[in-house]
Structure 1
Amino acid sequence: MRLKANTRAPFLGATALTLATSALSTNPGANLQAIITLPDLPTPPQPEPIEVTELPLPPVTLDEREGSCTAEINSRGTGCIGQRPNLQSGSFLPDDKHVLASLNFTGASVSSIYYGPQLIIVKTDGTTFSNGDPWKCLTCGVPEGQQLGRSPTMDYPQAFSDGKRALFGTNILDCGPWQLASEDCTAERTHIYPIRWNVQADGSGEGGNIRELRRHPDDVHLGFNAMVISGGTIGQFGYFARLQFNPVPASGIPLTPRYDLVNVTTLFNPGSLSPVSVKGSNIFVNPQAITVGELRGFSGRGNEVTYLGYPAESCNIDVFGVDLTTGAVRRLTSNPEYVDPVDISPDDQWSVVMDTRGSGRQLFLAAMRGVPPIVDLVITAITASVRNNGQRRFFQPWLLDRHGDRGSYSGQKINAAGGGSLGSVNDPQWNGMADPKWSHDGTAIVYWQQMTHFPACGGANPLPCPKSTEPGGRIDRIMIARLTSRTTVPQKPVAPISDTVPWGLPYIPGSELPSPKPLPPGSYTLIGKVSGFATVSLIAGAGSTFISTVAVTYQDFSDDGENTINGSEEVTVSYKSPTLNHADWFSNLTSTGANFSTKITSPGGFHVDINIAKNIFTANGTLTTTVDGVAYLQPDNYT
């Protein structure tokens, strides 16, 4: 099937809604939403003063060979890092005066305790520990007998609310009765325990592979993700479980003291509402469907799990929250850019997100608003993967109130001040990374950045590589944003919640993973909630039950009363490997109402290849979205 050009003349609505930007929304995506006063939502907040500074890190050695970390570089002999220290900042400790981080020590002898991947805490108040360092290594020198079975993973360091334990990777560090930041918490008093998810009916084996772990605020539960290959491509499920310490395990590897994940629930149920469903000759989009594509964390009080889910609008990747008890779904963001890392404030009134808003990276895909997510049945993995160029991310930190994007409000860029000069807090070559974290008192946010570096610049890439102004040419840094006009929010303990997630599917070790039911191929009609309709064709791939081609033709279609869609779009996706996706895309859409926009591919179509494990964009042909005369173009290949 090939699409013909839309021959309908565009209809301009009788009421033209004014578009505007403000200091709250200084990004290309903000002016794509009409100013609409919604009676059930409060007036968006005004910009507030934010002070951003950098936190200290260990000194840098340019030569990472053994013995290069000399007394000239670190006179206290407490280790060095390289220019690329593999940094990741984590959460605040309960006192809000320290932040967790993982990084790689280098330049010492291999017998030194300051060698390899380690977990540290960093002072946030300008003070130092008794040895004069503003940081302290928690894992350096822990006796081998006190870290048996430890996993090499180091990501997403998170402190427990008792201040005595920390989650990092798939491990939990425990300092017994001592606070992690105290001088009494020494390596000799520290234990590191692995976390194990049993996936065998008899409890044997190494356990399942888990990733992206997030501590629940009650300190008792944990969220995590696990990958799965389905329909020829890679996907994953999110899970919710109770942490249970097992001092003397009788089965399973490792047979060492460990934390077991028990009462595990898969945050998906094949019998529940699907994001897109069919009945008879009709097809439906169901915005209240729970689609935990990747678990991202929990709300401040822990009532909701946050996640990356099926789009609410075509090609627009947002984060959602779902109540762990009721299953009520809340859309946290709606800007037409890509968002992934998110943290909700302890009082549940604010979110901080790392988002491509401001970069224009995704607007060639998503700038046309109000298009239902139908072609997204096959294209979402590709549209989500445009957000990065390899290790270069286009994220910056944004502050949003609980009610999220609305009208012209698109949040406040946290690091907006600074002039954009080389090395400044808003230097666009310093890319935000996951995850930003709130302080417990709600007055500060910590996040980390990485500078653009080869091969995301230089060589065959037309972007020149910037020169780091950080000490020793370091390309990673930790930033703290202080919300200086705010008063502290009292910390309230979170009581343990139930192990049961009523809308989830209890996981039984050894059982088959649930599989979403593929939609049946055929021709369907999607009725607009306000006006018009769309005809939808779903075509399965050769020898497969999974849909590979989606074709949609819109006629005066509107779900929101503000955007009326006409024209046609067709996408076919194939999988060269579980991670390498290819799409053939043909689009000729027009939208009228809130604005006049088009989404059009070049005459031969738009053909894109993306390895979703590497996020390198390569395309033939063009896909361009134009809104009120402003054209949003795809990025150049390899950029």
Structure 2
Amino acid sequence: MHLKLHVLLGLYLTVAAQSDRPKPVKRGTTHSSTPPEPEPIEVVELPLPPVTSNETTGGCTLSVNPHGTGCIGANSSNLLSGTFLPDGDHVTASLEFTGAPATPDPASIYTGLNLIIVRANGTLFPNGDAWKCITCGVPQDQQYGLTSTMDYQYPQAFNDGTRVLAGNYIIDCGMAQLASPECTPDKVHIYPIRWNTSPDGSGAGGDIRELRKHPDDVHISFNAMSLSGATTAQYAYFARLEFNPAPTTGTPLTPRYDLVNVTGLYESKGAALISANGSALTINTKAISVGEARGFGGVGDQVQYVGFPAESCNIDIFGVDLQSGEVVRVTNGPEYVDPIDTSPDGRWVVIMDTTDTDRLMFFAGMRGVPPLIDALTTAAISSIRNNGKRRFFEPWIYDLDVAPYSDDKGYYEGQQVNADDDDSSGSVSDSFWNGGADPRWSPDGTKIAYFELLTQEPDCGGSNPLPCPVSNAPGGRNARLMMATLTSREPLARVVVDPVSDTVPWGEPYVPGSGAPTAPSVPFGNYTLTGQVSGHADVTLTANSAGTALETVDATYHNYSDDGLNFIAGNEKVTALYPNVTLIHVDWISNLSSSGISNSTKITGPGGFHFDVDVQLNKFYANGSLTTTVDGVVYRQPENGC
């Protein structure tokens, strides 16, 4: 289950390669006011193993796959795409093979979750397949510490072409290139990654998730959950990968990669996001608030993350420089963005965003509102981006050299990668096919790989007013691997990123056995927040009945503006309750208006707006209404369960 809590330090208010190759150029802070013209993009579907309708043992017959190299199920492939290999001609992916014959049939190795590579240049491997399974048939004694619950999430190729970071494992073919005939199962080793969290080095280590490889091939970022009573928090870390061929402490006692020189990507004693000086409240949008690390930006000098909003109800990606701690807002759209990848030259990002669907505009359409209620609502709003397993993502490219707003063009949103006038069933822009996580640039910056999932029951049909589509993908499968080519772009020279320092000066070195950091606190009470350009807001922060946690934020705005573009007036009051660790109940009353570059309102119906969402299930149920209108365009909430 893809869990997004975005709860961490500072997020909520609390009580007291080759040396002769060109090097990348770091992007500056200057922006062009003119967005680029839409560029031509061609999108194709990449081939996958054939589909068998019989997923029992032996169901993958030679009539289904004459090469005897495995089958997938129409509804059970569990496809996750990854990155390009350094040659740019292959894409990594993980998927689940099914229907394999029993041993000793040679085809019995094509079973379960495995890492594959897919040809992306229209050619075939010597056996006639367009894919090659890397982990099928790897000897058991070379699968170190591998369990039945293994997860090859988001496979990321190393720059040497011989290794892949997949989930919490590194899959290594020794001296052989993964795409070459020399890379055979007997040469593949699967090494676990271990984070030591015990003072004496014992035990299995800490649970880690959402690992992302740094372009220097030496470091990674990762995230870890922290549970304390009814509170769930998440923290991000930066570490060096160090191969340990013969560990003497900790499990598994097999060859493995240890995470060393681990640094917490937080600063407990740094600038707070929200702070108080007497009755004056301050919001510092340059404070570091790494909610969930999502990889590396710039040219590897920056950690990108989902952080505390800069504008109320806007879920964006931010970046913090690994050395200076300087924070920048990477994306600026009003919708939800999460998966992201930066082009090799650091100029462009590709993101998965809900912009095309207006899914969250009823929350986020009014721009320029300071993030006050967001101390309570961020996790809940993030959880409405999906309807269960239906994701409302589409891939977009975004030029980082373009200013977020210009007088004649308005807000810059980028270009949708798979936009097409043909939205017929199965087309590249068919809205029933929903973008998955982690789109990825090719090493030369001319192509993007991503995957999509077809809307399925129970997230369509039945009581859900959205009808269920019929798949016209090969074999009727509900997953597909896509590649977009930016046809007018010249290939970039290969970018080599030198190893960066283990030290993150603003972070906090992790000490095994230490507890979670403590968040900066703001006392409950009444405050004034002064706009950076004009006006002010009267703010009341109210505790729960036990006096232990923030429960209500009440803000009244008086011609408030931080950007000189949007001027906010009116009142908004939000209360959040937590029946259990994953369920959030929100009571919302809003009567806001905005003038300036647009005329907007954000208004709840009689009795207010009340909704529940479980951050694990991503199902939305509401009573009452919340409606945002921007220059006459009306945005309403989704129907319950949709």
TM-score by length of 1: 0.93
State the distance in 1 between where 2:31 and 2:162 align: 43
Sort the Cα spacing of 1:303 and 1:357 in 2 relative to 1 into closer, same or farther, 3 A: same
Query: Paired residue for 1:195?
Result: 193
SS at match of 2:378: helix
State the distance in 1 between where 2:614 and 2:199 align: 35
CA-to-aligned-CA distance 1:274-311 (integer Å, 9 cap, x gap): 22111111111111011110000102521001100000
State the distance in 2 between where 1:280 and 1:361 align: 39
Q: Retained in 1: the 8 A contact 2:352–2:437?
A: yes
State the distance in 1 between where 2:481 and 2:453 align: 9
Query: Paired residue for 2:635?
Result: 632
Query: Paired residue for 2:454?
Result: 451
Q: Retained in 2: the 8 A contact 1:601–1:621?
A: yes
1:86 aligns with 2:78: yes
CA-to-aligned-CA distance 1:560-586 (integer Å, 9 cap, x gap): 112111111111111111111111111
Say which of 477, 480, 504 aligns to 1:477.
480
State the distance in 1 between where 2:173 and 2:314 align: 44
1:96 aligns with 2:88: yes
Query: Paired residue for 2:116?
Result: 120
Query: Paired residue for 2:553?
Result: 550
Q: Retained in 2: the 8 A contact 1:418–1:425?
A: no
Question: Quick one: which amino acid aligns to residue 405 of structure 2?
Answer: R
CA-to-aligned-CA distance 1:431-455 (integer Å, 9 cap, x gap): 0111100000011000000011111
State the distance in 1 between where 2:575 and 2:156 align: 41
Q: Retained in 1: the 8 A contact 2:58–2:102?
A: no
Question: Quick one: which amino acid aligns to residue 303 of structure 2?
Answer: V
User: Alpha-carbon deviation of 1:403?
Assistant: 3.3
CA-to-aligned-CA distance 1:604-626 (integer Å, 9 cap, x gap): 11111000111100111111111
Query: Paired residue for 2:602?
Result: 599
SS at match of 1:86: coil
User: Alpha-carbon deviation of 1:518?
Assistant: 3.1
Q: Retained in 2: the 8 A contact 1:519–1:547?
A: no
State the distance in 1 between where 2:496 and 2:175 align: 19
1:521 aligns with 2:524: yes
State the distance in 2 between where 1:390 and 1:410 align: 26
Say which of 313, 334, 356 aligns to 1:336.
334
SS at match of 2:618: coil
User: Alpha-carbon deviation of 1:463?
Assistant: 1.0
1:304-315 aligned at under 5 Å gives the runs: 304-315=302-313
Query: Paired residue for 1:150?
Result: 146
1:438 aligns with 2:441: yes
Q: Retained in 1: the 8 A contact 2:530–2:536?
A: yes
1:507 aligns with 2:510: yes
Query: Paired residue for 2:37?
Result: 46
Q: Retained in 2: the 8 A contact 1:451–1:468?
A: yes
State the distance in 1 between where 2:487 and 2:631 align: 38
Report the aligned-residue RMSD: 1.3
Query: Paired residue for 1:208?
Result: 206
Question: Quick one: which amino acid aligns to residue 329 of structure 1?
Answer: V
Q: Retained in 1: the 8 A contact 2:605–2:624?
A: yes
Question: Quick one: which amino acid aligns to residue 270 of structure 2?
Answer: S
Question: Quick one: which amino acid aligns to residue 148 of structure 1?
Answer: Y
Q: Retained in 2: the 8 A contact 1:558–1:564?
A: yes
SS at match of 1:253: coil
State the distance in 1 between where 2:165 and 2:30 align: 42
Q: Retained in 1: the 8 A contact 2:320–2:326?
A: yes
Question: Quick one: which amino acid aligns to residue 169 of structure 2?
Answer: N
User: Alpha-carbon deviation of 1:418?
Assistant: 4.7
State the distance in 2 between where 1:146 and 1:39 align: 51
User: Alpha-carbon deviation of 1:229?
Assistant: 2.9
Query: Paired residue for 2:3?
Result: none
Q: Retained in 2: the 8 A contact 1:354–1:432?
A: yes
Sort the Cα spacing of 1:131 and 1:333 in 2 relative to 1 into closer, same or farther, 3 A: same
Query: Paired residue for 1:14?
Result: none
State the distance in 2 between where 1:274 and 1:160 align: 36
Query: Paired residue for 2:617?
Result: 614
Query: Paired residue for 1:468?
Result: 471
State the distance in 1 between where 2:395 and 2:229 align: 35
User: Alpha-carbon deviation of 1:235?
Assistant: 2.5
Question: Quick one: which amino acid aligns to residue 35 of structure 2?
Answer: P
State the distance in 2 between where 1:494 and 1:530 align: 41
State the distance in 2 between where 1:477 and 1:40 align: 36
Sort the Cα spacing of 1:194 and 1:456 in 2 relative to 1 into closer, same or farther, 3 A: same
Q: Retained in 2: the 8 A contact 1:337–1:357?
A: yes
Q: Say which is worse superposed, 41-50 or 162-171, in terms of deviation.
A: 41-50
Question: Quick one: which amino acid aligns to residue 571 of structure 1?
Answer: V
State the distance in 2 between where 1:447 and 1:212 align: 17
State the distance in 1 between where 2:188 and 2:78 align: 23
Query: Paired residue for 1:233?
Result: 231
Query: Paired residue for 1:250?
Result: 248
1:43-442 aligned at under 5 Å gives the runs: 43-84=34-75, 85-109=77-101, 111=103, 112-151=108-147, 152-229=150-227, 232-299=230-297, 301-403=299-401, 405-407=404-406, 408=410, 409-442=412-445
State the distance in 2 between where 1:119 and 1:524 align: 54
Q: Retained in 2: the 8 A contact 1:94–1:163?
A: yes
Query: Paired residue for 2:19?
Result: none
CA-to-aligned-CA distance 1:106-126 (integer Å, 9 cap, x gap): 011354100000000000011
Q: Which runs of 5+ in 1 are unaligned?
A: 1-37
Q: Which runs of 5+ in 2 are unaligned?
A: 1-28
User: Alpha-carbon deviation of 1:41?
Assistant: 3.1
State the distance in 2 between where 1:273 and 1:102 align: 41
Question: Quick one: which amino acid aligns to residue 314 of structure 2?
Answer: N
Instruction: Give the fraction of aligned pairs with identical amino acids, expressed as a percent.
Output: 58
CA-to-aligned-CA distance 1:391-442 (integer Å, 9 cap, x gap): 1010000011113543432111111125110000000110011110000001
State the distance in 1 between where 2:629 and 2:58 align: 57
Q: Retained in 1: the 8 A contact 2:366–2:628?
A: yes
Count of equivalent residues: 602
State the distance in 1 between where 2:572 and 2:130 align: 56
User: Alpha-carbon deviation of 1:230?
Assistant: 5.2
Q: Retained in 2: the 8 A contact 1:548–1:573?
A: yes
State the distance in 2 between where 1:314 and 1:284 align: 15
CA-to-aligned-CA distance 1:514-543 (integer Å, 9 cap, x gap): 021332101100001111110111111122
Sort the Cα spacing of 1:157 and 1:480 in 2 relative to 1 into closer, same or farther, 3 A: same
State the distance in 2 between where 1:584 and 1:448 align: 36
State the distance in 1 between where 2:416 and 2:584 align: 33
Q: Retained in 2: the 8 A contact 1:518–1:547?
A: no
Q: Retained in 1: the 8 A contact 2:272–2:520?
A: no
Query: Paired residue for 1:10?
Result: none
User: Alpha-carbon deviation of 1:42?
Assistant: 4.4
CA-to-aligned-CA distance 1:431-488 (integer Å, 9 cap, x gap): 0111100000011000000011111101221111000000111000011000111111
